[in-house]
Chains A and B, each alone.
Chain A
Amino acid sequence: MELINKWPEYHKKDVVSHYCPGCGHGIVHRIVAELLEEMDLGKKAYLVCPAGCAVLAYNYFDFDVIESAHGRGTAIATGAKRANPNLFVISYQGDGDLSAIGTAETIHSANRGENICVIFINNAVYGMTGGQMAPTSLVGQSTMTSPAGRNPEVDGYPLHITDVVAQFPGVVYAERVSVSSPAGVKKTKKAIRNAFETQQEGLGYSIVEILSPCPTNWKMDPVKACKWIDEEMVKEYKPGLLTDKREEKRKEKG
């Protein structure tokens, strides 16, 4: 008997994660670990963790991980990459981190076209603090701080930060995917691989937004949460390629 799905080398063995049942973080962690192994990048990988549920990601990854202050992931990633360009720098952030408190860092690092990868987990709520409304919450979505649903007159509209940064000339690759189905997981892996290749070739900034289930804070069971992504969330956040300037950048580089 031969094991088909081997344990990824850069994922710590025999640890049970602190994530809730059905959380998308576990799937994305596995994809990142698998890709680092497949692309032989694990020895020089350097992951920047956010404040949020993924704050304890260093417990699950078996390569260098640094903890960032809330929202400052891409600022730390910028410093690490500039100080040592040989590092393979990934900033792993959630929506409260990247699109709320860290908006300035995100926008400016993208505008500078830093040669880093950003993995953006979008679950439309502040997960760790108990499901408060985030800038990415959908109109009408009921959260702890908007029990009657998000009212755009008071709370504004969902923030499409990946669409915003995709307009910048320095952003080479931007894609939105979801981990709500096996097909979505495969697309996610492909998107993250493209983002990793962008950095490996030195082309510039890459960002992958991943629509990820948060069953606990959405007050749904995990299967329903995946369905909710496929039925409701994709209406607001359409999955697909947002920008791909890799060919142009390769030509520029010669």
Chain B
Amino acid sequence: MSKKDKVFTVKVRRDFCKGCGLCIEFCKKGVLASSAKLNSMGYNPAEVVKPEACVGCLMCTQMCPDLAIEVYSG
């Protein structure tokens, strides 16, 4: 399997996200967006809207101040 075909899965830990939006801003593929539903802290957390677009660049995890994003390969 070449690198191009690699599949990545992004998961947002809803109740750890403070909805700052930095991951949404810096994801160039538009994988993430702000959720309309509030989480347990009362923030609008990030949610995955285009899971297939993820290329595993980890820009979102680099910028997340709350370690709320997990990226899985495969």
Contacts and interface: CB of A to CB of B under 8 A. Distances in A.
A27 B41 CA distance: 20
Contact of A5 (B9, B25, B58): B58
B21 A5 contact: no
A21 B39 CA distance: 14
Interface stretch (A63-71, A123-131, A218-226): A218-226
A223 B21 contact: yes
Contacts of A185: 62-63
B46 to A, nearest CB: 11
Contact of B65 (A22, A186, A221): A22
A11 interface: yes
Interface in A171-193: 181-182, 185-186
B71 A4 contact: yes
Nearest to A16: B16
Given A5-B61, A223-B22, A11 B71 contact: no
A222 B26 CA distance: 12
B67 interface: yes
B73 A2 contact: yes
Interface of A: 1-5, 7, 11, 16-17, 19-27, 30, 181-182, 185-186, 215, 221-223, 226
